[in-house]
Amino acid sequence: MVRIRDPLHGTVRLTDLEERLLDTREMQRLRGIRQLAMAYLVYPGANHTRFEHSIGTLALAGKICFELGIPNDKTAKVRVAALLHDIGHVAFSHEAEAVLQEHIGDHEEIGENTILGGEIADILSEQFSPREIAGLSRSPLGEIITSDIGADRMDYLLRDSHYTGVAYGMIDSDRVCSTVGMDGKGLFITERGLSAAESLLVARFTMFSTVYLHKTVRIASRMLQQAISLALSDGTLIAEDALCLQDAAMLETLSRSSEGGEFAKRLMERRLYKKAASVPLPAMVLSQEKAEKLLSEKCGCSVLVDIPRLSLSVRILLESGRKKLRLASKSEIVASLQKMQDSRLEALILCEEKNMKKVEAAAKRLL
């Protein structure tokens, strides 16, 4: 058994099999993939990676299993699935996936394929069925990892808060772990855990508005996506190659693109586009692609549009008496958080600083 010292969870103990999985090439690649992609350009400490998040998710998943009294054999499966849950992420994670998904699938599909073949499958086969581990996320047991009150979400809120220096993401994970229940449909929160679940969702909301949807983070992410799209178009980047790249190698590859290289170089040097205008999401009738084409043609310069894809959808069930009810129906806090986020979402119109005035005027006129 190996012991790893984690800044959030203290000493995390891994079995020999878990240690061997951690040492595979596919898991070690996650050391070079930042958890928050471009957020380091705004929060300099946000250099934590999907590698350490995977270890933290394993630790919390094991704690939830212990609190639920899950048998050791099933706990072992959940822990392994938690360790491998991010194995399918490409460089720059969700931001790059938004562009690459149509070519190579999403990180869940890629992750399943990775688990079902090669070294990881060979190691898993000594104790488990790789197919069962790959499909665990779709089972009630998998909700220990994937639920809105599961290990994945709790670890990334805690970890992102810690490394960005933003206090809003701090949650009482011990209380959540000790007040969850499980039935044939998956994970739920008991009534004595209502306050802990509400606090978790408040933390998630504030992390969305402060970090994940920070204006400058969105600008950098949209520039990255444009660089990837253009590099794919001119053949500098082959979509399948993205499965092997880490963040630094991806950015270096993009910088060699005749079409997208300028965006990649701007990211390297932090010469970012500026927000020229914004449009409330309900009022945005054009697609991102059509809005960009229209504004770029009218203004005679490069214009990017970022439409947020993240949302605070909540699928937590609360045990109330003998019934399981949606948390939002029993918590005014949760219901108001969802409404508040919807009212704040907006599309951003982006361009070089020198073109801001004409782009702002065109956006007001055309959008």
**Position 282 pLDDT exceeds 90:** no
pLDDT on residue 328 = 77
Q: Distance between CA atoms of 201 and 312, rounded to whole angstroms? A: 9
> Does 128 map to a domain?
yes
Enclosing H/E stretch for 280 = strand 274-280
Could you read off the pLDDT of 91-101 as tens digits, one per residue? Answer: 999 999 999 99
Full-model pTM? 0.94
Sort strands 180-183 and 304-306 into parallel, antiparallel or unpaired. unpaired
> Does 73 map to a domain?
yes
Enclosing H/E stretch for 304 = strand 304-306
**Position 312 pLDDT exceeds 80:** no
> Does 241 map to a domain?
no
Domain encompassing residue 170: 2-212
> Does 196 map to a domain?
yes
How many CA atoms within 13 Å lie on the side-chain side of 45? 9
Estimate the crossing angle of helix 194-207 against helix 332-344, to 10 degrees: 10
Structural domains counted in the chain: 1
DSSP conformation class of 10: E
How many CA atoms within 13 Å lie on the side-chain side of 33? 26
Choice between 254 and 320, residue whose per-residue pLDDT is larger: 254
Q: Distance between CA atoms of 217 and 134, rounded to whole angstroms? A: 32
310 — pLDDT class (breaks 50, 70, 90) = low
CATH number for the domain that contains residue 134? 1.10.3210.10
> Does 274 map to a domain?
no
Q: Are 41 and 216 in contact (CB under 8 A)?
A: yes
Tokens 């306050």 identify what position? 195
> Does 247 map to a domain?
no
> Does 254 map to a domain?
no
φ and ψ of 256, to 5 deg? -90, -5
Could you read off the pLDDT of 37-91 as tens digits, one per residue? Answer: 999 999 999 999 999 999 999 999 999 999 999 999 999 999 999 999 999 999 9
> Does 324 map to a domain?
no
* 150 φψ region: left (φ > 0), alpha (ψ -120 to 50), beta (else): beta
